[in-house]
Amino acid sequence: MTKVFVTRNWHPNAVKLLSKHFNVKVWDQPDIPSSEQIISSSQDCYAIFTEFDDKISSEIIESIPGLKVISNRAVGYENIDLRAAKKNNIKIGNTPGVLVESCADFTMGLMLDLARNITFSNRNVIDGKWVSFDQTPYLGTDVYQKHLAIIGLGQIATSVARRAVNGFNMEVSYWSRKRKPEIESELNLRYVNDINELVQNCDYLSIHCALTEDTYRIIDKEQFDLMKDVKLINTSRGPTINQNELLNAINNGNINSAALDVTDPEPPDYKSEIVGHPKILITPHLGSGSQETFNKMAQMAAENIINVFHNKNMISEVLID
Ligand code: DGY
């Protein structure tokens, strides 16, 4: 029977679905599989079902004869060597769409948390520092009617903008590689052609662009230097911002605080300044992590494999130029 390797043991329903068509092998060790372990576990496999932090290099791709599909349970796919996949005629699947609303909810959660010092104050309560009624160490700012700037206007960012405009009456500006006039007029967004202009006129800045060569450190010293008391939220990929410059910007007041669901590297060294900093809230890459969305992404990743096996289109295929 045709074989499939699944690189985590988190997805019983997806494995059940795959098992109707394939002989499924699931990685069941506590540590994530190394490249060597992926290669040895995937020998003779038609497909591998991967997570976004499985580095699928050309070495892996070329060491699995018969591999036809890499199905990433993620919208991002920068973990996969696309050129090697194309050269070896391997199809790549991803899982956009189903995670949009969960990621947008999470982004708003981080924004509200920064605005009102929720985690910061909770840390102090845990440390026994709530000794009398005194809001003064924690006075935050409102979200309602403030100015949100967004970098990248894909599906997740659009859903964030919708929540911000309709739920919080915020003024929303955005920069994106491609201008989106329909969304602009639906939500009354302001397009700003120049990132430097965008970042100097906002209260909150939320990053949503995919990580590419062009967006690597799209927020760097030049941009931080222009910011004034901004609260920054990053749920895209860690390397879209220069983290050392973020620390400088927080320490010198250009940035008020930051919520990072993604870091560079990921996970960060837990002893590093960025982790212990009172003005930085770090969550462990949880944007899409609601139970419902976790399951939907796994189901979609499984269906992408099954569809290729039955000569149908994937629900979402990464097309390689
Ligand atoms: C994605 O889908 O790319 C997320 O960042 C991982 O869940």
Query: Do the bridges between strand 45-50 and strand 204-207 make them parallel or antiparallel, or are there none, so unpaired?
Result: unpaired
CB 71 within 8 A of CB 300: no
Q: Among 11, 52, 79, 102, which is best to mutate for testing ligand 1, by the most ligand atoms less than 8 A from CB?
A: 52
Going by pLDDT thresholds of 50, 70 and 90, the confidence category of residue 233 is: very high
Phi and psi, residue 50, nearest 5°: -120, 165
With a Cβ cut-off of 6 Å, ligand 1 is lined by 52, 74-76, 99, 287-288
Q: Which one of 78, 266, 273, 317 is the catalytic residue?
A: 266
Q: What are the tens digits of pLDDT across the range 30-73? A: 999 999 999 999 999 999 999 999 999 999 999 999 999 999 99
Provide mean pLDDT across the span 123-152.
98
pLDDT at residue 4 greater than cutoff 90: yes
What type of residue is 311?
N
Q: Got the DSSP string for 136-189?
A: GGG-----TT-EEEEE--SHHHHHHHHIIIIIH--EEEEE-SS--HHHHHHHT-
Global pTM value? 0.96
Residue nearest to atom 2 of ligand 1 (CA): 74
CB 315 within 8 A of CB 93: yes
Question: How far is ligand 1, taken at its centre, from the CA of residue 289, in Å?
Answer: 9
Helices (H), 20-70: 35-42, 58-62
User: What pLDDT does 237 receive?
Assistant: 97
Provide mean pLDDT across the span 89-97.
98
Q: Is 285 a catalytic residue?
A: yes
Average per-residue pLDDT in the chain?
Answer: 97
CB 45 within 8 A of CB 66: yes
Q: What CA–CA distances, in Å, run from 308 to 75, 138, 182?
A: 18, 54, 34
Going by pLDDT thresholds of 50, 70 and 90, the confidence category of residue 101 is: very high
Residue nearest to atom 4 of ligand 1 (CA): 74
Question: How far is ligand 1, taken at its centre, from the CA of residue 234, in Å?
Answer: 13
User: What pLDDT does 321 receive?
Assistant: 83
Q: Which one of 163, 237, 245, 303 is the catalytic residue?
A: 237
* 73 Cα nearest atom in ligand 1: 2
Provide mean pLDDT across the span 294-311.
98
User: What pLDDT does 60 receive?
Assistant: 98
Nearest Cα neighbor of 99 from 296, 310, 305, 307 is 296
Provide mean pLDDT across the span 125-135.
98
Query: Do the bridges between strand 204-207 and strand 147-151 make them parallel or antiparallel, or are there none, so unpaired?
Result: parallel
User: What pLDDT does 152 receive?
Assistant: 98
pLDDT at residue 109 greater than cutoff 90: yes
Q: Is 197 a catalytic residue?
A: no
pLDDT at residue 9 greater than cutoff 90: yes
Question: How far is ligand 1, taken at its centre, from the CA of residue 186, in Å?
Answer: 27
pLDDT at residue 7 greater than cutoff 90: yes
Provide mean pLDDT across the span 205-225.
97
Q: What are the tens digits of pLDDT across the range 179-191? A: 999 999 999 999 9
